[in-house]
């Protein structure tokens, strides 16, 4: 089985990036991170990558005249690095159909809710405020909608009202760090097939 080449897009702390790095180091995931790209030059995720000698790039979205011009620069870096799979790890930009069509069924994202429930931002707080009994984590392929792509893996998280929102957030992040490398592993092993919305 060949090693899969990853390009990881980040905007913030990079805890999911760290989980993927550690899974690779433990040989739980046969992959190589070829590049980490951030739209935020101060993102701590870049430091995590640089400590491991992983190539990085900063592509700030502000200077570009439009979203497609920004995304063309992302594509330039990703294709130049020979990336097989694009992994969104806290990347806080919505990708246009232009980008998604360039990597059909080759962009993966993680979301802190049981999709299709609570798509979009602030999903953990919105689930908490809604009074639901459970939420969870979803890993999915990215399509042209917002958190609407085919789901790869999901795990439920019961909401314990004796705990705090911060406790729930920590629990969800712990599951994310386990589930994301597992989903990438399934892709690397050729065990995922997309048919329609599944």
Residues paired with residue 156 on neighbouring β-strands, in sequence order: 136
Q: Of 92, 98, 94, give the one whose Cα is nearest residue 38.
A: 92
CA 116 vs CA 11, 18, 111, 143, 146: distances in Å = 24, 27, 10, 13, 10
The H-or-E segment that residue 139 falls in is strand 134-141
140 is a catalytic site residue: no
Token output for 125: 């707080």
Which pairs from 169-177 meet CB under 8 Å and 24+ separation?
A: 169/112, 169/124, 172/112, 172/124, 172/135, 172/136, 172/137, 173/15, 173/112, 175/136, 175/137, 176/15, 176/16, 176/19, 176/110, 176/112, 176/137, 177/15, 177/16, 177/18, 177/19
> How far apart (Å, rounded) are the C-alpha atoms in residues 100 and 149?
11
Of 77, 98, 102, 111, catalytic: 111
The catalytic site residues sit at 111
């Amino acid at each position: 089985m060949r090693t899969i080449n990853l390009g990881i897009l980040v905007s913030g702390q990079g805890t999911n990036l760290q989980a993927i790095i550690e899974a690779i180091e433990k040989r739980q995931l046969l992959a190589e991170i070829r590049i980490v790209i951030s739209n935020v030059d101060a993102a701590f995720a870049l430091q995590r990558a640089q400590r491991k000698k992983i190539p990085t790039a900063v592509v700030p979205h502000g200077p570009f005249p439009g979203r497609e011009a920004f995304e063309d620069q992302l594509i330039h870096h990703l294709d130049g690095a020979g990336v097989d799979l694009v992994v969104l790890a806290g990347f806080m930009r919505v990708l246009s159909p232009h980008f998604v069509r360039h990597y059909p069924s080759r962009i993966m994202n993680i979301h802190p809710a049981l999709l299709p429930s609570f798509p979009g931002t602030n999903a953990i707080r919105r689930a908490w405020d809604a009074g639901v009994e459970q939420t969870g984590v979803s890993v999915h392929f990215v399509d042209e909608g917002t958190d609407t792509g085919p789901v790869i893996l999901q795990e439920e998280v019961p909401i314990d009202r004796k705990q705090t929102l911060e406790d729930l957030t920590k629990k969800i992040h712990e599951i994310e760090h386990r589930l994301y490398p597992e989903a990438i592993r399934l892709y690397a092993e050729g065990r995922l097939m997309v048919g329609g919305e599944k």
